[in-house]
Every structure is written in C-alpha cells, then in structure tokens.
C-alpha cells in the first residue's frame, strides 16, 4: 500500500470549508485544468452514504476508461470517504477530513485544517509498485497541492465578494439567485461551478435541446433546472413559463454568443454580430419587462472594443476603436440599453485574453511550443492583455456584488505584456525553445487577414482601472507563475 497525506490550513470556519465540498460544482473546481478527468454519471446523496460517481479518465490518445467511486463514512462537518469499486488501481481509498483549529491572526477568527488522506495499491503487483508508483505519487502530490490551493483561493475570493455585497444581500440567509446564459461554454460552465460552490443558486439559461452541462450531473431542485430561451428573437425570446422564472433573480450574467474563431466570411460576421446584438437586446428587453427585475445584468464584452491602439494605455474611459471587433462590441454594449433604462445596473465585462489549457489562446500556443515551434506572433511587440480563467470568474462575481461598478469594466490582469514576453514565459514553463516567430504574413494566410490582425496581432495595453479602484484582488498577476499553476508545471 502507498499512502499520501496532504494537509493545509484554510482561514475559514470548519463548517464553511466542509460545506464548500458538499456543494454542486466542487468536483469541477477541484479537478486541475491539465487533468482531463470528467464526471460521466453521478447519483445518490453524500449525506446518506448513497452517492456513486462514474469518472471518465484519459488512457492513451482518444481512449478513455471509467473509474467508479462509492462515497461512504460521512460524518457531518468532519469527513467523508471515496472508495474505488472499479478503475485503474488495485485499491483506492480517499478520506476527506476537516478539523476546526485556531485562526492565524490574519483576519480569520477561526480556521480549519483540510486533510486529504489517500491509500492506494498499484495494479500488477511488484511491477506496478516499482515502475508505476513513483510517477503516480508525483502526479498525486501535484494534483492535491493544486486542490488545496484552489480551495483556499476560492473561499478567500468568495469572502471578499460577500464583504462587498450591499448590506441587504450580505445579511440574507443563503446565497444569491443568479442566471447565466452561455453556461455550456468554456467560461460559462466554469462560472456555474464557481458560483455554485460559493453557495449561490445558479440557473443556466440555454437554448432548447442544450440542457447538458455540469449541472446535469447533479440531482438539483427543480427550480434550478435550466431556463429555456430563443436568443434569435427580441420579442419572443422567452415563453410565458420561462419568462416567469426570471422574476426575482438577483443577477443575470450574459455570456452567450457565436464563437469568434474561424474565418470571418460575410456569413460568419453576420452570425457573430447578430448573436451578440440580438441576443443581448432580447435578454435586456425581457428583464426590463419584469415586475421584479434583477439588481444587475453583467453582460459580456471584450477588449476588442478598443481596436488596435499601439502603445496607448486603455482604461475604461478610452473610446471605441476601429475594426470588426470594435464594431461588434459597440453594438453588443448598446443592445443592453433596455435593461439600463429600466433601472437595472448594467456592467459590460470587457474580457481580455483568457488563459486556460481547456481552450482559448493558450491551447494552440502550448501545443506549438511543446512541438518546438513556439515563439512570438508577428513582431511580438504588440501588447497582450491577459487574465487567467480563475480571475475571470472572480471578477465576474465581483461585478455582480459591487454596486460601484457599472458600464465598461476591463477584466484583465494588472499588467499587460508584450506578445514576445508571453511566448518567452510559456517556453520557459514548458522547457521548450520559444524563438520561432510566426510571421504576420503566415498568420494572415492561415486564419484570414482580419482574424489575424484583430485577434493576434492587435496591440491592446488595457488597464483594469475599475477593478483596481474598487479593491478587487487578483489571484494571478505574474504570468510565469500563472502558467505554472494552470499547466501543472
């Protein structure tokens, strides 16, 4: 048998730490972004020792296997255990334990020790122990160090967000009631898990037939079932039954829109623009017509609003630029006017380049760098304004709770970097050369001139002035450290 113990002090009360692990979305938050393990099926309740979970785990290439887990030994506020009934190990037992301890004096009145104890046996007997155990132990150490750091950082971010809430919300029993469009997308599905583990009630807004998402793996109350809409129709976006479910929400986060990647043919441009302009107008109009509208609509936008601005530093007061993305952002943000006119606080979350190995720009950049073809795009002198996915989620939560924020809010890290600095940091983290530039001419030929010029070669030195002014705290401000964290390096 091999044993691994991971212990950390988390500066929150023990019951808060334990309850975080029981909420929907906890597993999704704990899986490292470099780990391709996913939930395939879940049933039963942890609290009465009836929960079983089937995990889909990567084997080799596209091949995947199943890891079946049974939960037992539940003690409220203290512990529960996972026992493998089928999977890659000969045996596996993982006990989660939370114990109250004294706070550290850094602002927490009380704290808790988080203790993960794993006992496992490799398959293939002595052969597995000799050749497999060292590699598995190293991977598990990395995974559980990530899990503990993620748990502490999420709980700290949620505590800061609660402190920022207006008094009438902070004093309410239970969390906020929040609806999210685009909840099946990269950011939306992660936001569902992030807000759910904060104790909020999160309701996806989806197209008909698009009900599958992380929430579908949980047995949730019926009032958290997805709301169905048709974002292509301003006047008929919600039928009567679904419109009624918008009543009494505290917040709506609008992330839905046609993906930008792909050649920008005339048809693609039309879809991108319509999905944002019409969809946002449809949602804003529906919210404006409610008897009990939400306090806030956080509507996605992008730093593409500023266009290619060279060396200019761009805070939220900088005007719109030129180009297709700026044209889209202008229409996108204007389409929320019905909600603003109805007295709803509207935030336009102008998101930068979101870094996560699960998708976006980091995925192809990492792949090229691993193959030895990493390097700056174009001249490499252009400014890239980046943000990690975890900071994106926390910033969206901050936009929800901070009444001081309205209008444009830049969601980027405090310091933008030259593209060549980004390439150099990625090469260093992946231990690969990063000196092979991709000429602008090649990028334009591969992706189309407009896509390359506006998404890869444009220089946007964006400053998150509104977030800094209101006291938002970033998790990741140093790019190299951020890349090491999200890539497991």
| 280 and 336 inside one domain | yes
Q: Each residue of 16-32: pLDDT tens digit? A: 999 999 999 999 999 99
User: H or E stretch including 26?
Assistant: helix 26-30
Examine the pLDDT at 155 and tell me if it is beyond 60. Answer: yes
Same-domain pairing of 346 and 281:
yes
Strand partners, 102: 110
Last residue of a domain, one of 131, 164, 197: 164
Helix ranges (H only) for 219-294 are 240-244, 266-288
Give the highest mean pLDDT range of 56-60, 130-134, 152-156. Answer: 152-156
Q: How many domains does the chain have?
A: 2
Averaged pLDDT, 177-193: 96
The pLDDT of residue 98 is above 90: yes
pLDDT digits (tens, 9 = 90+) for 67-97: 999 999 999 999 999 999 998 889 999 999 9
In this structure, the answer to whether residues 317 and 213 fall within a common structural domain is: yes
Sorted by sequence, the CB contacts under 8 Å of residue 361 that are 6+ apart come out as 353, 354, 355
Domain boundary among 97, 131, 164: 164
Q: How large is the C-alpha radius of gyration of the chain? A: 23
Give 5: exposed, middle or buried? Use CB within 10 Å, 0-12, 13-18, 19+. Answer: exposed
Q: Tell whether 257 and 287 lie within a shared domain.
A: yes
Do 153 and 115 sit in the same domain of this protein? yes
Same domain, 210 and 98: no
Do 316 and 439 belong to one domain? Answer: yes
Residue 109 has pLDDT above 70, yes or no: no
pTM for the structure as a whole: 0.93
Would you state the structure tokens that stand for residue 217, as one six-digit string?
């793996």
Strand partners, 114: 8, 98
Same domain, 145 and 172: no
CA pair distance 339, 254, nearest whole angstrom:
12
Smallest CA-to-CA distance from 433 within 383, 482, 363, 376 is with 376
- List residues bridging with 270 in a β-sheet: none
Question: What range does the domain containing 101 cover?
Answer: 2-164
Tell me the helix, strand and coil percentages in the chain, rounded to 5: 40, 25, 35
**Number of other CB atoms surrounding residue 362 within 10 Å:** 24
Is the separation of the CB atoms in 346 and 299 below 8 Å?
yes
Q: Do both 202 and 275 map to the same domain? A: yes
115-143 confidence digits (pLDDT tens): 999 999 888 777 666 666 678 888 889 99
- Domain identity same for 116 and 186: no
Distance CA(117)–CA(14), nearest Å, equals 17
Q: Which of 164, 179, 202 is the last residue of a domain?
A: 164
240: pLDDT confidence band, cut at 50, 70 and 90? very high
Buried-state track 387-411, b at ≥16 Cβ within 10 A, e below 16: bbbbbbbbbbbbbbbbeebbebbbb
CATH number at residue 390: 3.40.50.720
Taking 80 as the threshold, does the pLDDT of residue 171 lie above it?
Answer: no
What's the pLDDT score for residue 128?
62
Same domain, 303 and 269: yes
What one-character DSSP code corresponds to residue 108?
-
Kindly report the CATH number assigned to the domain that includes residue 136: 3.30.530.20
- Pair (182, 52) in one structural domain: no
Torsion of CA 366, 367, 370, 375, to 10 degrees: -60
Q: Do the Cβ atoms of 427 and 367 come closer than 8 Å?
A: no
- CA pair distance 390, 486, nearest whole angstrom: 9
| pLDDT tens digit sequence for 247-268 | 999 999 999 998 888 889 999 9
Closest to 484 measured CA to CA, from 245, 242, 145, 159:
145
């Amino acid at each position: 048998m091999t044993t691994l113990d991971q212990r950390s002090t988390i500066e929150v009360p023990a019951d808060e730490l334990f309850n975080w692990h029981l909420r929907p979305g906890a597993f999704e938050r704990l899986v490292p972004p470099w780990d391709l393990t996913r939930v395939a099926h879940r049933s039963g309740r942890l609290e009465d020792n009836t929960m079983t979970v089937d995990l889909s785990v990567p084997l080799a290439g596209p091949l995947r296997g199943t890891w079946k887990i049974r939960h037992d030994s539940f003690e409220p506020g203290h512990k529960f255990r996972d026992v493998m009934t089928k999977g890659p190990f000969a045996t596996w037992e993982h006990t989660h334990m939370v114990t109250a301890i004294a706070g550290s004096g850094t602002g927490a009145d009380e704290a808790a020790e988080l203790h993960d104890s794993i006992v496992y046996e490799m398959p293939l007997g002595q052969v597995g122990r000799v050749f497999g155990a060292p590699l598995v132990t190293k991977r598990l150490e990395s995974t559980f160090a990530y899990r503990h750091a993620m748990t502490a950082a999420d709980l700290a971010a949620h505590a800061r967000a609660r402190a920022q809430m207006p008094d009438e919300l902070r004093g309410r029993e239970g969390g906020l009631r929040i609806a999210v469009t685009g909840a099946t997308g990269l950011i939306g599905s992660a936001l569902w898990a992030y807000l759910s583990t904060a104790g909020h009630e999160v309701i996806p807004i989806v197209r008909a037939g698009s009900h599958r998402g992380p929430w579908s793996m949980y047995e949730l109350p019926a009032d958290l079932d997805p709301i169905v809409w048709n974002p292509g129709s301003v006047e008929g976006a919600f039928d009567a039954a679904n419109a009624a479910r918008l009543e009494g929400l505290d917040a709506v986060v609008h992330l839905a829109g046609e993906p930008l990647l792909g050649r920008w043919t005339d048809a693609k441009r039309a879809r991108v623009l319509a999905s944002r302009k019409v969809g946002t107008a449809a949602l804003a109009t529906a919210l404006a017509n409610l008897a009990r509208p939400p306090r806030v609509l956080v509507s996605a936008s992008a730093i593409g609003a500023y266009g290619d601005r060279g060396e200019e530093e761009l805070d939220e007061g900088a005007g719109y630029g030129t180009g297709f993305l700026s044209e889209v952002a202008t229409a996108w943000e204007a389409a929320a006017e019905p909600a603003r006119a109805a007295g709803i606080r509207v935030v336009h979350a102008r998101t930068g380049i979101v870094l996560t190995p699960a998708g976006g720009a980091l995925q192809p950049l990492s792949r090229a760098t691993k193959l030895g073809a990493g390097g700056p795009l174009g001249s490499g002198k252009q400014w890239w304004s980046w943000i990690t996915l975890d900071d994106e989620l926390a910033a969206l939560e901050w936009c929800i709770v901070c009444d001081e924020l309205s209008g444009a809010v830049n969601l980027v890290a405090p310091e933008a970097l030259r593209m060549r600095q980004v390439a150099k940091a990625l090469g260093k983290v992946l231990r690969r050369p990063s000196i092979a530039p991709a000429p602008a001419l090649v990028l334009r030929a591969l992706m189309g001139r407009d896509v390359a010029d506006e998404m890869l070669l444009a220089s946007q030195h964006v400053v998150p002035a509104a977030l800094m002014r209101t006291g938002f705290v970033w998790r990741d401000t140093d790019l190299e450290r951020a890349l090491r964290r999200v890539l497991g390096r």
